[in-house]
Amino acid sequence: MTGPRESVAAAIRRALLTPEPKAKLFAAREVARRWRLGRLAWRFDVAMPESPAWPAEPELLPPHRMPKRGKGGSERGRIALWHALAHIEFVAIDLALDMAGRFGGEMGRGFVDDFLSVAADEAMHFALLDRKLRRLGSAYGKLPAHDGLWQAAHETRHDVRARLAVVPMVLEARGLDVTPTTRDRVRAHGDEDGARILQRILDDEIRHVRFGTKHFVARCETDGVNPPECWKNLVKTHFRGALKPPFNDSARSAAGLSREFYGGVASGANARLPHNS
């Protein structure tokens, strides 16, 4: 009986370099499935790309050029909301794949297990959101999207602690804060199907933040550094944004992200972390 031929790194790289959205989500799910079934070799013999392949549409714009969504109850506002969420989940597929492929060799099999399962979840989330858009008469790519979502990955490509600190423990944790409000607003407009999608995403994102926090803390302990202090220093250096309350303390706690990490960082509504230029 012969062993698996393709390396896990090569399979991940191929998924990252798949531009078409539906093909990418299938590629991500297939990598996760093959890994789970033991059909990929534990080898990191190819490098991850500097950036993933994305489709020609949507047009990517800086935040200040993004059009206003309009009121949430209007058709235009609903489509803009679901499109923005779909883009976040589309980029999240690549964030999870890159995490596993770039750092898996140094972090171990459990790390790859966790982040390939995250990639499969994000692919499922994207499929749900794209289907939602199609029911509204639109589709992913029909509107412009935020161009900065890969920036955090690029800037932390040489440091697994920095990547974990910023992507799961800041960006995804922010989703834990804002998704319940969005879910409730969608439900108030009579969209129970949309509310169910957002609840599913919220439930999964708690697990994703838990994975990030678990591996961050373990790496800090291996390196002999204090996890909350290390996190604060890395976020100051690598996160170009604000940490704004209110925080969803219960969801963050369920994800293992205690107030010991973020409680003293943002003391007011406009608190901003310093960062290196």
Other beta carbons within 10 Å of 83? 25
The answer to whether 222 and 164 have CB atoms below 8 angstroms apart is: no
Residue 269 is predicted with a pLDDT of 34
Residue 272 is predicted with a pLDDT of 36
Residue 42 is predicted with a pLDDT of 97
CA separation (Å) from 45 to 5, 9, 34, 48, 158? 12, 7, 17, 10, 17
Tell me the C-alpha distance between 271 and 236, whole Å. Answer: 12
Whole-structure pTM over 0.95, yes or no? no
pLDDT tens, residue by residue, 93-143? 999 999 999 999 999 999 999 999 999 999 999 999 999 999 999 999 999
Q: Which residues contact 209 (CB under 8 A, 6 or more apart)?
A: 168, 169, 172, 173, 176, 252, 255, 256, 257
Tell me the C-alpha distance between 180 and 231, whole Å. Answer: 25
Residue 244 is predicted with a pLDDT of 84
The answer to whether 170 and 151 have CB atoms below 8 angstroms apart is: no
Q: Which residue stretches of the chain have pLDDT < 50?
A: 1, 267-277
Residue 277 is predicted with a pLDDT of 27
The answer to whether 92 and 125 have CB atoms below 8 angstroms apart is: yes
Residue 263 is predicted with a pLDDT of 81
Residue 2 is predicted with a pLDDT of 52
Nearest Cα to Cα of residue 79 among 145, 25, 16:
145
Residue 64 is predicted with a pLDDT of 73
